Amino acid sequence: MSAVPPLLSVTDLEKSFAARGSLLRRSGGRRAVAVDGISLEVARGEKLGIVGESGSGKTTLARCLIRLIEPDAGTIEFDGVDVTHAPRAQLQHIRRRMQMVFQDPYSSLNPRVRIGEAIAEPARIHGVVERGGGDAHAQRLLELVGLPATAADRYPRQLSGGQRQRVAIARALSVEPEFLIADEPVSALDVSIQAQILNLLDDLVSSLSLTMVFIAHQLSVVRHVSDRVAIMYLGRVVEIAPAEEIFRSPQHPYTVGLLEAVPRPDPLLRRRSPAIRGDIPSPFDIPSGCRFRTRCKFVEERCASDDPALRTAEPGHEVACHVLPFKPASDVRV
């Protein structure tokens, strides 16, 4: 493709968690697989959306990117620097450049710290502002995220959910990062407020030339903010393509079903039978072969034995499925 190296590249990333044993019962060494061999790249200035249901590993992936969770295997490279093996001081430096916005702005803000201080603190720690420059810095950021200057003296509990998410964004931007990881940033918000925050993120990412990984379970939200979209299922990326394309011609049976399952706000587009049957398998017990086979309409014998790797369906569009590219297109239309 292009000769410009990606800003972020993830190779064969793996992470699993040991089952929590109890006093009476040992965990028996069972492990839940959260991220199971993920490779992806994010170009500078790109907005990559990651979609998945619970247990897909999307949040674990996000947290591994800045080593809030230590991956078990694989590498993460940010702007040519190996994040996975970076010593503490270097990691600190990388984290200034890569910031994270979480789903619940209430639990990510200290309830006893005033908003102004919460925003200025990371900038001071990372040496972005001089001693004494914190207040002015906080004011600039409050304005940037559309909050009144008076918000600086307030406590998180005095703000609404949408305002708190603005503060969380201001706090992430406080250290002038290049890369933003937004993990379900609007999932806890009401629709009217969700639109405000999505517009704000959109504006900030373009005006500050940020690169963003945007994680959500809501496809419509992801479509709205992403250049490219990765669909995750049980620890794997099963399909990745430019946003337009994944919504126009989804290839993987899971993506097709997921798109169909979203309740459209249009009573004229009603469906009566569910798009995908069955439950999401337990991450402790991932099916052999293709992990979606237990719920797939197109399942064949080889799906149980062979684990499909991502293959290129179209330039820039990769799918991990044995069967689907050989089915007539009419079967897979949304």
Partner 1 sequence: MHAGRPLLSVRDLVTVFPARDRIVCAVNGVSFDLHEGETLGLVGESGSGKSVTCRSLLRLVPEPGEIIGGSIEFDGQDILALPPSALRALRGAQIAMIFQDPMTSLNPVFTVGSQIVEPLRQHRGMSSREAHREAVDLLDRVGIASPSERLRAYPHEFSGGMRQRAMIAVAISCKPKLLLADEPTTALDVTIQDQILSLLLELQAEERMAIVLVSHDLGVIAQTCDRVAVMYAGYVVEEAATTDLFATPKHPYTAALLDALPELAQQRGDRRLVAIKGQPPDLGDLPSGCPFAPRCAHVRPACSEVSMELMPAGDRHSTACPFSEVLG
Report in angstroms how near the CB of residue 191 gets to partner 1 at its nearest.
5
Q: Is 3 a binder of partner 1 (CB under 8 A)?
A: no
The strand pairing partners of 231, in sequence order, are 51, 239
Q: Of the listed pieces 133-141, 169-177, 189-197, 303-311, which binds partner 1 according to CB under 8 A?
A: 189-197
Element (DSSP H or E) covering residue 229: strand 228-233
Q: Is 198 a binder of partner 1 (CB under 8 A)?
A: yes
Instruction: Evaluate whether 37 touches 31 at the Cβ level (below 8 Å).
Output: no
Q: Is 104 a binder of partner 1 (CB under 8 A)?
A: no
Q: Is 226 a binder of partner 1 (CB under 8 A)?
A: yes
**Helices first, then strands: H and E counts in the chain:** 10, 12
Which of 21/127 has CB closer to partner 1? 21
Burial of 209 (0-12, 13-18, 19+ CB in 10 A): exposed
Report in angstroms how near the CB of residue 266 gets to partner 1 at its nearest.
6
How far apart CA 199 and CA 244 sit, in angstroms, is 19
Which of 259/320 has CB closer to partner 1? 259
Q: What is the DSSP string of 23-77?
A: SSS--TT-EEEEEEEEEEEE-TT-EEEEE--TTSSHHHHHHHHTTSS--SEEEEE
Q: Is 264 a binder of partner 1 (CB under 8 A)?
A: yes
Q: Is 285 a binder of partner 1 (CB under 8 A)?
A: no
Q: Is 266 a binder of partner 1 (CB under 8 A)?
A: yes
Which of 174/255 has CB closer to partner 1? 255
**Joined tokens for residue 268:** 């004229």
Q: Is 50 a binder of partner 1 (CB under 8 A)?
A: no
Q: Is 196 a binder of partner 1 (CB under 8 A)?
A: yes
* C-alpha dihedral (133, 102, 212, 320), degrees to nearest 10: 160
Which of 42/120 has CB closer to partner 1? 42
| Binding footprint of partner 1 on the chain (CB under 8 A) | 53-54, 160, 162-163, 190-196, 198-199, 202, 217-221, 223-227, 243-244, 247, 257-277, 279-280
